Amino acid sequence: MNEPRLATQIEAILYLKAQPLSIKEISEYANCDRAQAEDAILELISDYAHRDSALEVVETPNGYSLQLRATYQNLMQDLVPAELGVGALRTLAAIALKNPILQTDLIELRGSSAYQQVQELVELGLVQKRREGRSYWIEVTEKFYQYFEVDDSELLPSNRRL
C-alpha cells in the first residue's frame, strides 16, 4: 500500500487529537520538518475551502484544528448529548474500539486532555477504571451499551470485564 500523502496524514492527526495543535506538534506527530508541515496544512486548508464539506481546517490562537463549520453548529447541539463534548465523545469512541485500553495508551492516542475526559466519562458511568501497575485499564460499562443502544457482542471483540 502506498504511503498516504502528508496532508492526508495531518488531517488524520488533527481528527484524532480533536484539539488545536501547533506546527511543532504536527511536525512531530507526522514525523516531518516544520516547512513540510506548514505546506501540508496550507494544502489542507485549501482543500477544505474548495470542497463541499461540513468540516474545515482553521488556525486558532492555540494552533491548527479540524472542526465543524459554524453553519453546522446547530446539528451538534441536537446530536451530541449535552453532557458530552466532542473531545470526550472521541475519547469514548477510542475506549470502546480498543476495550479495554491502558490509560497510558489512550493518552498517547488522544493527548493529555484525555485525562480529564476519562474522569468525566467515569463520573457519567460510561467507563470504569482498574489499576494496572502505574496505569489503569479503562473499559466501557453496561451504561455505555444502554445509553448508545449498542450490543456489546456486535461492537467489541474483547470479552474481558473489570
CATH topology of domain 6-72: Arc Repressor Mutant, subunit A (1.10.10)
The pTM score is 0.50
pLDDT confidence of residue 161 = 44
pLDDT confidence of residue 145 = 78
**102, burial (CB in 10 Å: exposed 0-12, middle 13-18, buried 19+):** middle
Identical fold between 6-72 and 80-155: yes
The structural domains of the chain, with segments of one domain joined by +, span: 6-72, 80-155
| CA separation for the pair 81, 89 (Å, rounded) | 9
SS3 117: helix
| CA separation for the pair 148, 96 (Å, rounded) | 11
pLDDT confidence of residue 41 = 96
pLDDT digits (tens, 9 = 90+) for 84-125: 788 898 999 999 988 999 999 999 999 999 999 999 899 888
DSSP state of 3: P
CA angle 112, 117, 120 (to 5 degrees): 145
Which residues, given as ranges, of the chain have pLDDT below 50?
156, 158-162
pLDDT confidence of residue 21 = 92
What spatial distance separates the first Cα and last Cα of the chain, rounded to whole Å?
A: 38
Question: Domain spanning 80-155 has what CATH number?
Answer: 1.10.10.10
**20, burial (CB in 10 Å: exposed 0-12, middle 13-18, buried 19+):** middle
